[in-house]
Structure 1
Amino acid sequence: MNKPIYDLALTLWNYHHLNHTLRPADAILVLCSHDVRVAQRGAELFLEGWAPLLIFSGGLGVITRSMWSEPEAELFARIALEMGVPAECILIENQSSNTGENVLFTRQLLAERQPELETFIVVQKPYMERRSFATFRQVWPEKQVIVTSPQDSFEEYLNKYSHPGLSPDDVISIMVGDLQRIKDYPDKGFQIPQPIPDEVWAAYEALVRAGYNRHLISA
């Protein structure tokens, strides 16, 4: 990857990060995907005592349905168990296939739970922090949420991407697609609006022109 492309992608990476400060919560909600380090981050937060309940949400999505035969949440929960999280502290939602469903189906799963949970730490991939926050606030606005992710730099993430079938160029294309969704999804009722600085949108357009368009949605 040449430096101009790297710098454009780094602009998007930095924008997607929210840099929230962790605080204790009622539950940790892990939004599952192809990146198993998200499971590890969620388990670490539980073991550090940030919340007494660890929830994994994810069935099979666009990427993982060609990678795995079992739901993402089942695989992620097994990782947490292997790391020492007690089974009785884990809840699994294994039907969702996108971020909106992650939140909605988790909300439905918890509807009868007493006492009701009010505060959440959402754990997601680093470049999906902002979209996860915007989606959660749209689907479940009455709850308090902060978002975190595996604590990797952009360079570290590209060097350690979690599956051999997902290249650094694939990661950049996914980031480009996520920024398009941050712009377009509020009008569809999927997310709350997020401001996009001019320099971030200019980086997006340059990356699209350079061919990083494989995860864009049709207008």
Structure 2
Amino acid sequence: MDENLVDYYAELLYDYHFLKQPLQKADAIFVLGSHDPSVADYAVELYKEGWANYIIFSGGVVRPVGELRNQTPKSEADAFFDIAVKAGVPADVIILDNEATNTGENFSCTRKVLKEKGFDFQNFILVQKPYMVRRTYATALVQFSEFKFISTAKPDSYAQYIARCIENNISKERVISNMTGDLQRLKIYPEKGFLAAMEIPENVWDAYEKLIFMGFEGRMAN
């Protein structure tokens, strides 16, 4: 397999997925669950820079030992909590949702937690992996439409992000398969009402089909 060609197609998907929106101050930094600990690291950066006074970690999927730098199996939210507190974020500004198991539930379960705890947040910074920024935003347009929000991630290039993932024991193959899976969801989920339709450029879809042909199809939706 020609790795240069793989990277060429993968970077097209990465740049499309990484919707760029300017940061704006918010009531809370809302972090959606992930297998990538750098998502929590970036939320900590934003908090320390003063973009919001609270952090929400949403994710009930239990990750195995080591996957999120955890020493015991933990939910994404709990593992992210540990990362943030270790980095100096006060525990009392962190809100946890340990029930969500997918992107739609990140929004519905977090809405429920905020209501139960009496928080009246109206403005959010949504944080995810770079290649999930667009899908997070498209989902929020449907599932979180009553609020104001922007969607963002640590501003890595494709090469920088792959290198960061490898440092965290996440393979390039896994990242690319996740990116093709996310593009498929952007294509088919609007008709299911899960997210808002996003225009997909022809060259991006062509790159997707090339990567699928090469075998990067490990995370397709049914």
What's the TM-score once normalised by structure 2's chain length?
Answer: 0.92
Pick from 188, 206, 210 the counterpart of residue 210 of structure 2. 206
Match of 1:191, SS state, is coil
> CA 1:192 to 1:65, structure 2 compared with 1: closer, same or farther past 3 Å?
farther
Q: Aligned residue for 2:159?
A: 155
Q: Aligned residue for 1:19?
A: 20
Q: Aligned residue for 1:168?
A: 172
Q: Aligned residue for 2:58?
A: 57
Root mean square deviation, CA, Å = 1.6
**% of aligned pairs identical?**
42
After TM superposition, the structure 1 stretch with the greater mean CA deviation from structure 2, 151-160 or 199-208, is 151-160
Q: Aligned residue for 1:146?
A: 150
- CA positional deviation for 1:56: 0.4
- CA positional deviation for 1:217: 2.1
Superposed CA offset, 1:115-168 (max 9, x none): 62111001100100001111111111011110111222111111221542x310
Are 1:28 and 2:32 matched, yes or no? no
Q: Would you say how many aligned residue pairs link Structure 1 and Structure 2?
A: 215
Cα distance between partner residues in 2 of 1:115 and 1:91: 10
Match of 2:189, SS state, is helix
Cα distance between partner residues in 2 of 1:15 and 1:65: 30
Superposed CA offset, 1:11-40 (max 9, x none): 000000111100100110011211111101
Q: Aligned residue for 1:215?
A: 219
- CA positional deviation for 1:210: 1.1
- CA positional deviation for 1:112: 4.2
Match of 1:160, SS state, is helix
Cα distance between partner residues in 2 of 1:36 and 1:159: 14
Q: Which runs of 5+ in 2 are unaligned?
A: none
- CA positional deviation for 1:65: 5.8
Are 1:121 and 2:125 matched, yes or no? yes
- CA positional deviation for 1:111: 1.8
Superposed CA offset, 1:38-84 (max 9, x none): 101101111111011110000116xx368562111001011111111
Q: Does the Cα contact within 8 Å between 1:53 and 1:89 map onto a contact in 2?
A: yes
Pick from 157, 180, 184 the counterpart of residue 188 of structure 2. 184
Amino acid at match of 2:146: E
Q: Which runs of 5+ in 1 are unaligned?
A: none
What's the TM-score once normalised by structure 1's chain length?
Answer: 0.93
Q: Aligned residue for 1:38?
A: 39
Match of 1:146, SS state, is strand
Cα distance between partner residues in 2 of 1:82 and 1:173: 31
Cα distance between partner residues in 1 of 2:212 and 2:141: 28
Q: Aligned residue for 2:198?
A: 194
Amino acid at match of 2:55: L
Cα distance between partner residues in 1 of 2:83 and 2:36: 12
- CA positional deviation for 1:113: 4.8
Q: Does the Cα contact within 8 Å between 1:34 and 1:163 map onto a contact in 2?
A: no
Cα distance between partner residues in 2 of 1:170 and 1:32: 17
Q: Does the Cα contact within 8 Å between 1:32 and 1:39 map onto a contact in 2?
A: no
